[in-house]
Structure 1
């Protein structure tokens, strides 16, 4: 064989035997005004103005559910009032289509609260387990202090922009709240459900509630958690998923409607690659 050919063959062999170095995936561009992604090992994968105090729209309902789960039994029955129905209608809010006089269990109302984001359900729960809405809001703020959410303040149980000087939170605080709330299996069961049906009975009409969180349809391992929108807050998404043995929690605030789901999916892929890379 030609000597040059021997050296060429050897060079090829060496090159073939050399492993191509792995390149870390680029961090996705995040269009949301505030963002935060952290995993259960405490690794912060994304941070963007995560301590800025801003309105968080219906992400407020995560704390509402958290307080209700501490105060109520799932089998408790709550009677819907005309005020509950008006609360959603008068504020142009999303509702669970509840009717005056219906009697629903706390468990069913939690689905009505978290899946279609019913302001009627939030009003009924806050009114019942304050008792009274003011007392319930006090419990929400007390829970925030207990959890160390120093940059969070609640003024209602649903995140609607009333009163004029509404409540606020941060992306970092919302992630912390979700990490705690997801330790409750009932909370996780509710927020990860794609839909929930309430059968018609003598006490209530039939209901079918579908989850507004489109991320549940887009990728595996998603645990929920909550969508939100007001003009002041923009489109918000608090999400969680299992990735490579870790729980990943992310928050997007002040985003666009469909983009928040696309960004969340990209962020989960990015975190998976980061965890796998060690």
Structure 2
């Protein structure tokens, strides 16, 4: 477990003060070396402004990360140079894919025409695997949908290498891992989250609690953000939830508050939002009330 320079300094002061006061009637209060009671199997905190690694739990242990994978999908799309106002036609294959694998969906309708930037909302808010496939199909190279999707996953791995995400491998554009090889670590995913938020396009999408997007044929899509930390903890600006049978509940999150910019990752936690609150309270040196999570409408996707 790693702690930040700030935490180490606090601990050193506590030890020194404790030695000086050992013979007296007062006891110097012990300072935690990190947030306590974190249930996640893997977690990490990063100062997104300075790049300082603040704290971690099993920081470099590889785990599946479910739909938080879509943060990389978005990063590859926006960094590819593709025109985000380019329009694509929704294929039946996207709906078939979701039905086959039981993925979360933006409920894209076959034949509708949507811009790539609209599909970013459909992917990151309701965690639409159909929207993720549409983006991979649009940005990948090849003569068929399968070839283009495979090409896109290659771009995801190339981007991971570029970002020095040394313990990360993608075999999926959405987190549905057929071979179980879609893996990353809390440290690597924190690096990805920081990079993704450098895009004003991703930032604008990730911080939206809901959106209405109209297809060119007039159909209106209403999508709600599955990240319930957003709108529930002051300063949170995203980023993405994920849940899978092997991955468990996951969360890549970020907050900007009191001049601070914090990025966090939670992999496989039975209490991801409570964990996130504890991690943010510790890193921001705050004591906030118990979380009152933003509710999602009946029928909205959960992830």
The residue aligned with 1:260 is: 272
Q: Which of 62, 86, 110 matches 1:53?
A: 62
Give the Cα–Cα distance (whole angstroms) in 2 for the partners of residues 148 and 221 of structure 1.
28
In the TM superposition, what is the alpha-carbon distance from 1:244 to its structure 2 partner? 2.7
Could you say which residue in structure 1 is the equivalent of 2:116?
Answer: 106
Structure 2 partner of 1:171: 186
Task: State the secondary structure of the residue aligned to 1:157.
Answer: coil
Does residue 157 of structure 1 match 2:176? Answer: no
Residue equivalent to 2:247? 233
Bigger CA radius of gyration? 1
Aligned pair partner of 1:221 in 235, 259, 263: 235
Q: Which residue of 2 aligns with 1:28?
A: 36
Q: Is 2:113–2:215's contact at 8 Å kept on the other side of the alignment?
A: no
TM-score, normalised by the number of residues in structure 1: 0.86
Task: Give distance in 1, aligned partners of 2:99 and 2:54.
Answer: 40
Alpha-carbon distance in structure 2 between the residues aligned to 1:22 and 1:48: 24
Q: May I ask how many residue pairs the two structures share in their alignment?
A: 251
Counterpart-to-counterpart distance in 1, 2:61 and 2:113: 40
Deviation of 1:181 (Å): 1.0
Q: CA deviation at 1:44?
A: 2.9
Q: For 2:259, which of 227, 245, 252 is the aligned residue?
A: 245
What displacement does 1:218 show?
1.1
Considering fraction of residues, name the structure with more helix. Answer: 1
Normalising by the residue count of structure 2, what TM-score does the alignment of the two structures yield? 0.79
Moved over 4 A (4+): 21-26
SS at structure 2 position matched to 1:214: coil
For the residues of structure 1 that align with 2:274 and 2:106, how far apart are their CA atoms? 26
Conservation of the 8 A alpha-carbon contact between 2:59 and 2:185: yes
Partner residue in 1 for 2:284 = 272
Structure 1: runs of 5 or more not aligned: 1-20
Aligned to 1:189: 204
Counterpart in the other structure of 2:149: 133
Q: Is the 1:41–1:246 contact (alpha carbons within 8 Å) kept by the matching residues of 2?
A: no
Q: How far 1:243 sits from its partner (Å)? A: 2.9
On the 8 A contact 2:64/2:180 being kept in 1, the answer is no
Unaligned stretches of 5+ residues in structure 2: 1-27, 142-147, 287-303
Check the 8 A contact 1:34/1:253 in 2, yes or no: yes
Distance 1:51 1:22 in 2: 31
